[in-house]
Structure 1
């Protein structure tokens, strides 16, 4: 009997057969289980799918034979499209390039300064042109039948809905950095339902993920709870020194603004770490904490001394960044979930800290914390084989196994 397993590290010839079948038998309309199970030769026989079995026999490539005989392996890479080539998209593209099992077949961006240029050149690759031209025509690029689209264009789910639906219609799975997609069931239930339906109709899966939301303040919190018998309160504190981060992020958190300017930008919705309410909801639902209300506050982290970064200067008394708190409250106002983000230039003792109060009480400290830009690209790329093996529909990071996609993993 041929036993299949989820793809979280080394890709085997089993995946190659799956990819080959997927190209031969589009559209994938009735996928309700993980891809490994959906294409397992034994289960195909059990379902009496004579078309697929006939194909396997004709090509002499039954799954068991492929796993046993190395010389018959079909080497097929994961076909990926990079949708959005900003700083995060560029970081993701460079990391994908390092993976032997991934072939980047297209790139999409609307920036006139990038359209028509080679993707490798735009992302600052050191290995020369990649032979992939950036296009503003998303529809045309998506017609290449990619296995997965890496989507990194906006934090707002409403703004990217058309982009996501277009990718799903093209029958490509999606890994997106859209923070509001990470857990949209409370904040955007109608949009979540629409995406779930579209994904299932196309037989593919999508997920919104990153370092936060997607890992530190939700997935990791929930994972730690596995060794506890009872959880009464969940807390996560993330302190980030933004002076070591890219310029767009330093501007995004209001570094260098007066306190008055900062508050005005918060009121206008310009300054905000997106995704904290989604993380609160994911933690509450995953730990079965009866959270009825989610609140969020955003205040400036005021500099107590002059701070100089590579890009800007923050004087004492100016805003150095954001101090943001998300709370999950019970019906009677009791706090059950507390997530705090301090992201500012010159932050002292950066760290990620998680405390689960219960039986037993559990604490975890990551000194220095997780480097946001590096960790975001890592989480996204490590999620590629996992989302390709996931059941069709809208998924979240809590649904998916943690995976590590080795650079040396082969198709």
Structure 2
């Protein structure tokens, strides 16, 4: 079997997890890597990912990477560069990404139309996924096939994120602000934009017309000064939040993305967490699916976010040109991974 050629785009937390998933993959070959940070340019990508050298050097030369004739780019930048995305797709290179707002008009209809036009020019495809939003949506769709009637779908991510050392992400989500800060609700809603796209994708897959998508959230405050090693919080500052993004149809909530995210346990309210995901379908019959890590594994790590994109690459390369979603691809699985050697 000829391996598909893949370029990894950036090596942050999710990107380095993707590199580890690509190295030694039976169906994929890592041939290049884009480095956002100048200090990473010229370094071996294996070393950037915390594994042994692999003989691939990171670069910030976009044209040199496109000259490698990759079949796909695994695009996992911290923020999207729409000029880069346009250039990659227009060059005929498919993209998988964990930036779920690219699944629809999350960045605006003008961006969606621009990227769709780039796909058409290059005869390429763009697919976005992750763990949640992303693969949890595919899991609930699989469970929905057992039902005679569906009244409501709910997906919950419930995690203590203190083991995920990403201060920049947490600060952008309002962690560390005063709970009464008027900016806090907007900050967390902006960071939940991808869940709005997940609801729209699921509604399309289930043939549901939505009236609107609503957002609600509440905050928890630290009960003491806490030092997590990678960041510090002071007593009274936001240290967690819970909320619901709801797809409304006929005046009723029919598809919900729920979350309980907290950093540590020294907070009030101190909501319990499931340390994973709970997917529920109310209907005939009612269905519940619980996904939780085994042993020392942790779903707040980057691997479960990166791998649904990496494992989708063969399907995306084979897909029709355009922005594709769950309903446009065969079901993504861990194909080729049984008995795979550890990296």
Q: What's the TM-score, normalizing by structure 2?
A: 0.84
Which residue of the partner structure matches residue 309 of structure 1? 228
SS at match of 2:207: coil
Conserved 8 A contact 1:294-1:329: yes
Q: Does 1:145 align with 2:74?
A: no
2:94 aligned with 1:94:
no
Conservation of the 8 A alpha-carbon contact between 1:259 and 1:319: yes
What does 1:4-403 align with in structure 2 at a 5 Å threshold?
Answer: 13=1, 16=2, 77-125=3-51, 127=52, 129-155=53-79, 159-182=80-103, 184=104, 188-216=108-136, 218-248=137-167, 249-260=169-180, 263-267=182-186, 272-304=191-223, 309-331=228-250, 333-346=251-264, 348-350=272-274, 351-367=276-292, 370-400=299-329, 401-403=331-333
Task: Indicate the SS of the match to 2:218.
Answer: strand
Q: Which residue of structure 2 aligns with residue 29 of structure 1?
A: none
Structure 1: which 5+ runs fail to align?
Answer: 1-12, 17-76
More strand by share: 2
Cα deviations across residues 355-392 of structure 1 (Å, max 9, x unaligned)? Answer: 21222222222245844512112212111122122222
Q: How far off its partner does 1:405 sit?
A: 3.9
Aligned pairs, number: 327
Q: For 2:164 and 2:335, locate their aligned partners in 1 and report how far apart those are by CA, in whole Å.
A: 24
Any conservation in 2 of the 1:252–1:271 contact (CA below 8 Å)?
Answer: no
Cα deviation, residue 187, structure 1: 6.8
Q: Is the 8 A contact 1:299 1:322 kept in 2?
A: yes
8 Å Cα contact 2:100/2:198 also seen in 1: no
Deviation per CA, 1:124-154: give whole Å up to 9, x if none: 22x2x32222222212211211111110114
Unpaired runs of 5+ residues, structure 2, are: 266-271
Give SS of 1:381's match: helix
SS in 1 for 2:135: coil
- Offset at 1:329? 1.4
8 Å contact from structure 1 (residues 250, 321) kept in 2: no
Contact kept, 8 Å, 1:254 with 1:321, in 2: the verdict is no
Q: Aligned-residue CA RMSD in angstroms?
A: 2.7
1:406 equivalent among 336, 339, 342? 336
The aligned counterpart of 1:63 is: none
- Which has the larger Rg? 1
> Are the counterparts in 1 of residues 177 and 184 from structure 2 also a CA contact under 8 Å?
no
- 1:204/1:364 CA distance change after superposition, 3 Å: same
- Give the equivalent residue in structure 2 for 1:35: none
Three-state SS of the structure 1 residue aligned to 2:38 is coil
The alignment partner of 2:242 has SS state of: strand
| Alpha-carbon separation, structure 1, partners of 2:145 and 2:225 | 44
Residues 122/409 of structure 1: CA separation in 2 closer, same or farther (3 Å cut):
closer
Post-superposition Cα deviations, 1:206-231, rounded to whole Å, max 9, x if no partner, equal 20111122122x22222211111221
CA contact (8 A) 1:330 1:336 kept: yes
Q: Give the 3 Å change call, closer, same or farther, for CA 258–338 of structure 1 in structure 2.
A: same
Residue 287 of structure 1 and its aligned partner are, at CA, apart by 1.9
